[in-house]
């Protein structure tokens, strides 16, 4: 098992790492829309926050030698299920033709009161 802390990704706001690689799988910790430079939430709409989350996921995956195309499963945590459509539009845009398995649920509150958090599992080919 290899613990990964990725340069350029937002600092972890708790006792966890950005990702763990075991065998050919990479488990990425949930990313919120934190700007890695300011460590403040970025964006005021679900679309803006989802776009930032994807940028953070891309940074973490790149630090593991992977891309969004390597994702096999995502879990999306929305503060409000009414934001599903806005999140889903950006999700589809960022993922392109790639369609990994996904679960989307509403939670009472995300870290720092973010509108969205996304975690993923990726496979190194």
pLDDT at 65: 97
Judged by DSSP in three states, 88 sits in: helix
For the chain, give the mean pLDDT. 97
Residue 125 has pLDDT above 90, yes or no: no
Considering the domain 2-123 in this protein, what is its CATH number?
3.30.1330.40
Give me the residues paired with residue 76 across strands.
104, 118
CA distance 8 to 20: 17
pTM: 0.96
Domain segments of the chain as ranges? 2-123
Asked if 55 and 94 count as a contact pair (C-beta separation under 8 A), the reply is no
């Amino acid at each position: 098992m290899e613990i990964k802390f990725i340069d350029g990704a937002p600092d972890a706001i708790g006792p966890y790492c950005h990702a763990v690689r075991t065998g050919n799988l990479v488990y990425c910790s949930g990313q919120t829309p934190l700007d890695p430079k300011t460590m403040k939430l970025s964006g005021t709409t679900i679309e803006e926050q989802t776009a930032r989350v994807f940028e953070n996921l891309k940074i973490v995956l790149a630090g593991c030698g992977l891309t969004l195309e390597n994702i096999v499963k995502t879990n999306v945590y929305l503060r409000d299920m009414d934001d599903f459509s806005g999140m889903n539009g950006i999700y589809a845009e960022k993922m392109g033709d790639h369609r990994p398995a996904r679960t989307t649920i509403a939670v009472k509150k995300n870290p720092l009161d973010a509108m969205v958090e996304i975690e993923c599992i990726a496979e190194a080919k």
